[in-house]
């Protein structure tokens, strides 16, 4: 009997955890497991804003796949996925092709710029290791240039963050810590630097507890962050950002606009012909695509409705990790004929960091946290994931233990 | 009796050491000493190439003036010199004016680009802390950009150094150490990076012992440096460098050209109407300008002929430091009516570093050094200066003690 081919696309939270679980539950004689990823490393998407600000080195954020995956049990292919052909059960890669019996799609997100002119060309996004460390270097380069020009250019020192959601706010917190360091490094007066957040909603972190939102704004404002809420970004150019608020147009000279206001599923999903809802596959309860019973979709590419609120669950690491347990179980059930499980998200809590020494959060549905306690909770969440993914040795290597500063 | 005003322009090797010596030998009742400098720090010009490569932090290279100068004995003015009016005994600053009875001009060097098209606009120079750390950041930014472009641009990874003299070669040595680190930081294959030196003479370090030159070339080539000697730089554009060798024109795509092939005296000297030879003042034996008996010129702004070779002494830190003893003595003699001393350079040795673990040098006129011994000698020279300038405490703070690696 031919061993079934399990192909997992993407080594993000979902794909990586699914692979780890499958390599534990499936013997090498039961299936061929292949993991495909564009890099030979996995990274913690939820830490990228720290790499982008320059407060954490990107090598802390990325994890070599070979350090977590047992290469004698899983075949790892470092390649870029070009297209998926579900009717032929094939995946086209840049340098080859794979046949599968079961497919797991965990290709993650892309920035969504909603057609705002100039954003795609001129704004930075915090999407991966390359784009995150580029933001760090871009800011530093502009600070280094500042005193080398006889006519000082304030646009070099204005940093605009588009979007006051989770990523935007966490990035602002790191910037607030980082900017004073950059000022010292390049002999720049701190008062010349502006960190400006532009958010379309009347408040940052829409949907979050108002008391915690106020706490976050106070914390960030006290460290120099300016908030412009209820404002729509109209345009981004190479040297400025234009927004509209209360019918008034304002232009901010800046060379650094970081767009943190929207993500969408990897465009490959839509291109490959899966039934989708704005790029995402509205998966069945067992995490399978509605039109193909051998294709599972996980993480940011999967759409799951919250029946209580009538809105989709947000694309978070927490949900992707939870899905991996169900996906790994169901992949095994699919090839061995067992019973499928249903996925039910369980939101344990949400914590947003505000730099290395402040945070806000809600856990167990209604318990509010802020300040030191919330920073500790954030690190516990991060460390718990490392433990699940690679055990104690990975936790010791990449964990965050500086809980007392 | 009115106390004479001694004004020292520039806190480079010459101006700084003259000030330190004068504050020791002149009482506060004997003269007003004023030191003018554009920054509130002094820096070791001979270390700037390390800051530019990114192998040494610029805070190791710079020394806060208040840490060396006794501010109760010397008035320090942080300002930019706009012009010198020797007939009126006045110095015009950006934010004020100073009257002097005795003036010491130690305003240092500027890059000389010899009218080569595009050099001034597009090439970097290693002239001060600002321009040095900009080179470091410029290279790093280009490495960070490399993997963020779908079409890879080799110009981001080509680094061209114009000039194989002392500064050029020492910078190449640091680059050879730094580039592998940058490659690791940005996941770039080392073999894609080129470090190219273009030198007009048939050999690098013209005038240096040929055996040591060969040693230096072998050391640098083994670490990936390419030499193009006997070649003239014809043009520098934003994206390339063009040179001619044996009548043939070659263009190298590069975004990083560092011009290290020529310096001239600060243009202020010529503008202020002093009798000069290509911008430099051919000083008398007592270091005074020929046309003004109350104006001393020190360091790179002073021209002193080597009567044995018939050529001027090169503008080095060693000579500027030696001159400061004579200038300080003669300034005191001028205001108190003592006898003037004559300056006679004594070249103790010349050591060129080739990165942190290799060097070449000649000491006591004919003793050749290379490898570890030369690196130790280089550090001894550097440390000796710190000791002279600021005593043991400065040496401990900024000295180079890692002689065993």
Residue A405 lies in a domain: no
Taking alpha carbons only, the member of B385, B395, B283 closest to residue B340 is B283
- Characterize A44-66 residue by residue with b for buried, 16 or more Cβ atoms within 10 angstroms of its Cβ, and e for exposed: bbbbbbbbbbbbbebebbbbebe
Residue B293 lies in a domain: yes
Asked if B136 has any chain A CB less than 8 Å from its own CB, the reply is yes
Query: Predicted confidence band at B295 (pLDDT cuts at 50, 70, 90)?
Result: very high
State chain B's mean pLDDT as an integer.
Answer: 95
Q: Tell me the per-residue pLDDT of B24-40, one tens digit each, with 9 for 90 and over.
A: 999 999 999 999 999 99
DSSP H helices, B94-222, are: 119-122, 129-146, 166-185, 210-221
Q: Tell me the per-residue pLDDT of A77-116, one tens digit each, with 9 for 90 and over.
A: 999 999 999 999 999 999 999 999 999 999 999 999 999 9
Residue A358 lies in a domain: no
What's the gap in Å between the CA of A335 and the closest CA on chain B?
38
What's the gap in Å between the CA of A164 and the closest CA on chain B?
25
Please check the confidence at residue B1 and state whether its pLDDT lies above 70. Answer: no
Please check the confidence at residue A144 and state whether its pLDDT lies above 90. Answer: yes
Query: CB–CB of A312/A306 below 8 Å?
Result: yes
Window A:137-166, CB contacts with B under 8 Å: 137-138, 140-141, 144-145, 147-148
> Are both B254 and B366 inside the same structural domain?
yes
In A, which residues are within 8 Å of B149 by CB distance?
Answer: none
The pLDDT score that the predictor gives to residue A221 is: 98
Query: CB–CB of B19/B69 below 8 Å?
Result: yes
Residue B45 lies in a domain: no
Q: Tell me the per-residue pLDDT of B386-403, one tens digit each, with 9 for 90 and over.
A: 999 999 899 999 998 876
Segment A345-358 shows an average pLDDT of 90
A130, A131, A140 member nearest B137 (Cβ):
A140
Segment B72-81 shows an average pLDDT of 97
CA pair distance B366, B369, nearest whole angstrom: 10
CA pair distance B179, B190, nearest whole angstrom: 8
The pLDDT score that the predictor gives to residue A1 is: 62
Tell me which of B130, B136, B138 to substitute to probe the interface with A (most A C-beta atoms closer than 10 Å).
B130
> Are both B104 and B132 inside the same structural domain?
no
What's the gap in Å between the CA of B41 and the closest CA on chain A?
11
Please check the confidence at residue B67 and state whether its pLDDT lies above 90. Answer: yes
Residue B290 lies in a domain: yes
The pLDDT score that the predictor gives to residue A349 is: 85
> Are both A25 and A143 inside the same structural domain?
no
Tell me which of A126, A141, A152, A184 to substitute to probe the interface with B (most B C-beta atoms closer than 10 Å).
A141
Residue B319: domain span: 5-38+79-111+264-339
Query: CB–CB of A221/A193 below 8 Å?
Result: no
Segment A155-172 shows an average pLDDT of 97
B134, B140, B147 member nearest A145 (Cβ):
B134
The pLDDT score that the predictor gives to residue B347 is: 83
- Asked if A145 lies within 8 A of B136 by C-beta distance, the reply is no
The pLDDT score that the predictor gives to residue B247 is: 96
In B, which residues are within 8 Å of A147 by CB distance?
Answer: 130
Active-site annotation holder among A50, A170, A199, A270: A170
The pLDDT score that the predictor gives to residue A348 is: 82
What's the gap in Å between the CA of B184 and the closest CA on chain A?
10
What's the gap in Å between the CA of A186 and the closest CA on chain B?
8
Please check the confidence at residue A263 and state whether its pLDDT lies above 90. Answer: no
Please check the confidence at residue B10 and state whether its pLDDT lies above 90. Answer: yes
> Are both B317 and B236 inside the same structural domain?
no
- Asked if A144 lies within 8 A of B138 by C-beta distance, the reply is yes
> What is the DSSP secondary-structure string of A97-142?
EEE-SEEEE---EEE--TT-TTHHHH-EE--SHHHHHHHHHHHHHH
Please check the confidence at residue A73 and state whether its pLDDT lies above 90. Answer: yes
The pLDDT score that the predictor gives to residue A307 is: 87
> Are both B214 and B329 inside the same structural domain?
no
> Are both B276 and B376 inside the same structural domain?
no
> Are both A101 and A14 inside the same structural domain?
yes
What's the gap in Å between the CA of B153 and the closest CA on chain A?
15
Least confident among A132-146, A230-244, B338-352: B338-352
> Are both B163 and B205 inside the same structural domain?
yes
In A, which residues are within 8 Å of B40 by CB distance?
Answer: none
The pLDDT score that the predictor gives to residue A88 is: 97
Domain end: B320, B339, B358, which one? B339
Query: Predicted confidence band at A347 (pLDDT cuts at 50, 70, 90)?
Result: confident
Please check the confidence at residue A405 and state whether its pLDDT lies above 60. Answer: no
B131, B138, B145 member nearest A134 (Cβ):
B145
Among chain B residues, CA nearest to A186: B130
Q: Tell me the per-residue pLDDT of B303-334, one tens digit each, with 9 for 90 and over.
A: 999 988 888 998 899 999 999 999 999 999 99
The pLDDT score that the predictor gives to residue B364 is: 82
State chain A's mean pLDDT as an integer.
Answer: 95
A185 a catalytic residue:
no
The pLDDT score that the predictor gives to residue A404 is: 60
Tell me which of B54, B120, B133 to substitute to probe the interface with A (most A C-beta atoms closer than 10 Å).
B133
The pLDDT score that the predictor gives to residue A91 is: 98
> Are both B227 and B366 inside the same structural domain?
yes
Residue B238 lies in a domain: yes
Query: CB–CB of B34/B6 below 8 Å?
Result: yes
What's the gap in Å between the CA of A219 and the closest CA on chain B?
31
- Asked if A134 lies within 8 A of B140 by C-beta distance, the reply is no
> What is the DSSP secondary-structure string of A270-313?
HHTT---BTTBEE--TTSB-TT-TTEEE-GGGEE-EETTTTEEP
- Asked if B134 lies within 8 A of A140 by C-beta distance, the reply is no
Residue A363 lies in a domain: no
Taking alpha carbons only, the member of B246, B222, B252 closest to residue B232 is B246
- Asked if A137 lies within 8 A of B144 by C-beta distance, the reply is yes
Please check the confidence at residue B404 and state whether its pLDDT lies above 70. Answer: no
- Count of domains for chain A: 2
Return the active site residues of B. 170
Asked if B134 has any chain A CB less than 8 Å from its own CB, the reply is yes
Tokens at B117, concatenated: 């098209």
Asked if A136 has any chain B CB less than 8 Å from its own CB, the reply is yes
Query: Predicted confidence band at B277 (pLDDT cuts at 50, 70, 90)?
Result: confident
Q: Tell me the per-residue pLDDT of A201-248, one tens digit each, with 9 for 90 and over.
A: 999 999 899 999 999 999 999 999 999 999 999 999 999 999 999 999
- Asked if B140 lies within 8 A of A137 by C-beta distance, the reply is yes
Q: What is the ipTM of this complex?
A: 0.90
Query: CB–CB of A311/A305 below 8 Å?
Result: yes
Asked if A60 has any chain B CB less than 8 Å from its own CB, the reply is no
Among chain A residues, CA nearest to B58: A185
Residue A351 lies in a domain: no
Please check the confidence at residue B229 and state whether its pLDDT lies above 60. Answer: yes
Query: Predicted confidence band at B349 (pLDDT cuts at 50, 70, 90)?
Result: confident
Burial bucket for residue A296 (CB in 10 Å: 0-12, 13-18, 19+): buried
> Are both A332 and A301 inside the same structural domain?
yes
Higher-scoring residue by pLDDT: B348, A20: A20
Kindly state the helix (H) or strand (E) to which residue A346 belongs, with its residue range: none
> Are both A133 and A22 inside the same structural domain?
no
Give me the percent of chain A exceeding a pLDDT of 70.
99
Asked if A38 has any chain B CB less than 8 Å from its own CB, the reply is no
Window B:184-223, CB contacts with A under 8 Å: 185-186
R_g of chain A computed on alpha carbons: 22
The pLDDT score that the predictor gives to residue A105 is: 98
Domain end: B299, B315, B339, which one? B339
Q: Specify the DSSP class assigned to residue A188.
A: -
The pLDDT score that the predictor gives to residue A102 is: 98
* 3-class SS of residue A318: helix
CA pair distance A255, A124, nearest whole angstrom: 10
Please check the confidence at residue B261 and state whether its pLDDT lies above 70. Answer: yes
Domain end: A238, A261, A284, which one? A261
> Are both B171 and B225 inside the same structural domain?
yes
* CATH of residue A292: 3.50.50.60
């Amino acid at each position: 009997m031919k061993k079934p081919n399990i192909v997992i696309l993407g080594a993000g939270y979902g794909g990586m955890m699914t692979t780890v679980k499958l390599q534990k539950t499936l013997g090498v004689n039961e299936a061929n497991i292949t993991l495909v990823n564009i890099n030979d490393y996995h990274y913690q998407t939820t830490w990228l804003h720290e790499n982008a600000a320059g407060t954490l080195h990107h090598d802390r954020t990325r994890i070599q796949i070979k350090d977590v995956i047992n290469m004698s049990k899983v075949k790892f292919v470092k390649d870029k996925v070009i297209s998926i052909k579900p009717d032929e059960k094939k995946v086209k890669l840049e340098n080859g092709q794979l046949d599968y019996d079961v497919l797991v799609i965990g290709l993650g997100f892309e920035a969504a710029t909603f057609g705002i002119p100039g954003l795609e060309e001129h704004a930075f996004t915090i999407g991966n290791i390359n784009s995150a460390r580029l933001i760090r270097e871009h800011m530093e380069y502009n600070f280094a240039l500042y005193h080398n020009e006889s006519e000082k250019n304030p646009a070099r020192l204005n940093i605009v963050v588009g979007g006051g959601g989770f990523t935007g706010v966490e990035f602002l917190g790191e910037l607030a810590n980082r900017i004073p360091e950059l000022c010292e490094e390049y002999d720049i007066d701190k008062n010349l630097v502006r960190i400006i957040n532009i958010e379309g909603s009347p408040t940052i972190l829409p949907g979050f507890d108002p008391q915690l939102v106020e706490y976050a704004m106070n914390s960030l404002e006290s460290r120099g962050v300016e908030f412009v809420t209820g404002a729509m970004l109209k345009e981004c150019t190479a040297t400025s950002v234009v927004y509209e608020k209360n019918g008034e147009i304002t232009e901010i000279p800046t060379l650094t606009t970081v767009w943190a206001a929207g993500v969408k599923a990897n465009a490959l999903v839509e291109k490959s012909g899966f039934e989708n809802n704005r790029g995402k596959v509205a998966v069945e309860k067992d995490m399978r695509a509605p039109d193909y019973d051998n294709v599972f979709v996980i993480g940011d590419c999967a759409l799951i409705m919250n029946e209580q609120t009538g809105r989709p669950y947000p694309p978070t690491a927490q949900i992707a990790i939870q899905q991996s347990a169900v996906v790994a179980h169901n992949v095994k059930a699919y090839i061995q004929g067992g019973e499928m499980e249903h996925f039910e998200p369980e939101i344990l809590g949400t914590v947003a960091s505000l730099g290395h020494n402040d945070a806000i959060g809600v856990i167990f549905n209604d318990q509010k946290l802020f300040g030191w306690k919330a920073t500790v909770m954030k690190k516990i969440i991060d460390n718990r994931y490392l433990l699940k993914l690679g055990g104690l040795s990975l936790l010791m290597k990449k964990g965050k233990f500086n809980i007392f500063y």
